[in-house]
Amino acid sequence: MPAASPPQPPRRNPKLKRRLLAGVVDDNLRAIRNQPEGRLHRRPPVSWSFVAAAVALSVAGAALWLSLGGVLDELAAPAAASAPRPARLASAPRAGAAARVSSAVFPVAVRRIVVDPGHGGGDLGTRTPTGLAEKELTLDIGRRLGTKLAEAGFEVDYTRAGDTRVSLRDRARLANERGADLFVSIHVNWLEDGRANRGIETYYLGPSDDPFVVRLARDENRESGYALADVRRLLDSIYADLRQEQSRGLARAVQRQLVRSIREVAPEVADRGVKSAPFLVLVTTQMPAILAEVASLSNAEEARLLAQEGYRERIAVALCAGIRSYSELVASTATQMEAR
């Protein structure tokens, strides 16, 4: 008796894929132009969850595991000692290998921005011997940034509005629940590189084999609010998607404006560049997200400048300019696509 033929895989429907992508682009264009719901193309209704599945992208979790080094070991002790134990997250499905999708396919309007002043409450962050603390500087810069973004027409939310301690888990949860389009976390660095102990750097989500970045991620991730098993599941589910590409674009725009503005008053400040790092606050947000190290308290001159209101105002103006530059680029991409 002849052997049964193996089942054939279902055929892909290229026309359906084109209709789905066209529908997503139409929805984004209507959002940018504040148009009422309608159909620019005739197409069947599509759920966002189905579209997200249709554009599932490559897994980068393994690379993140290699980059973490001692981060998980440092997280294990506080997670085990906390009471009650943090609730476990539902495990995320693993994304299969797929071709990378450009963010240009999905031009999305930037409306709501969550500003995240780093640290707070009992978590001082870095501080100088004279008592200048990172948590106070980031809150002041964050408030100034929020005011400027609101004046520019954006909707603004804060992860903290006062001197309160907010876990990384809750910061990301707030941004996700508010449906933010961008997440901007503000920090002040501490660099122990001798004379090169000052500079500006901006991070987006991704792996790193730089020992300094791994140590920095370990320190920033320490008070995460996640159990160790939760962290493992989160990292297993990370993929190199268009959110990462958009975050890199935002980081570049912000870094460029920060360096340009600060060098007008401090020409010797170092441009430490745009880097990827596995900060948990970036892992768990569902929108383009960056972490900006806007200055370095380890440098005496920079600490002196940070104590001045005008210098903090300058940083806030530069952050706002970088965000607006990125937003305008997104809108320009949408206009170009509409004209085709």
pLDDT digits (tens, 9 = 90+) for 181-213: 999 999 999 988 755 788 999 999 875 456 655
CA angle 44, 50, 54 (to 5 degrees): 105
Which residues lie across from 155 on neighbouring strands?
112
The pTM (predicted TM-score) of the whole model is 0.63
* 61-339 CATH pick, 3.30.70.270, 3.40.630.40, 3.40.50.1820, 1.10.1040.20: 3.40.630.40
Q: In terms of pLDDT, which residue wins out, 169 or 76?
A: 169
Per-residue confidence band for 65, with pLDDT thresholds at 50, 70 and 90:
very low
- Name the phi and psi angles at 326, rounded to 5: -65, -45
Using DSSP's 3-state secondary structure scheme, residue 209 falls into coil
Cis peptide bond prior to 84, omega within 30° of 0: yes
Q: What are the percentages of helix, strand and coil residues in the chain, rounded to 5?
A: 50, 15, 40
Q: In terms of pLDDT, which residue wins out, 215 or 329?
A: 329
pLDDT tens track for 211-237? 655 565 555 555 545 554 454 455 555
Residue 307: Cβ within 10 Å count: 13
Residue of 174, 202, 205 whose CA lies nearest to 187: 202
Eight-class DSSP state of 194: G
Q: How far apart are CA 81 and CA 63, in angstroms?
A: 28
pLDDT tens track for 99-113? 444 444 444 579 999
The pLDDT > 90 percentage for the chain reads 45
Using DSSP's 3-state secondary structure scheme, residue 293 falls into strand
Q: In what order do the strands lie in the sheet with 182-189?
A: 155-158, 112-117, 182-189, 289-296, 200-205, 271-277
Q: In terms of pLDDT, which residue wins out, 316 or 3?
A: 316
C-alpha distances (whole Å) from 95 to each of 57, 105, 306 are 6, 19, 43
Helix (H) or strand (E) holding 316: helix 309-339
Per-residue confidence band for 244, with pLDDT thresholds at 50, 70 and 90:
confident
* Cα atoms in the 13 Å half-sphere on the side-chain side of 30: 13
Place of tokens 């603004």: 156
CATH 3.40.630.40, the chain: domain bounds: 61-339
Report the first-to-last Cα separation within the chain, whole angstroms. Answer: 58
pLDDT tens track for 309-322? 999 999 999 999 99
Phi-psi region of 74 (alpha: psi -120 to 50; beta: other; left: phi over 0): alpha
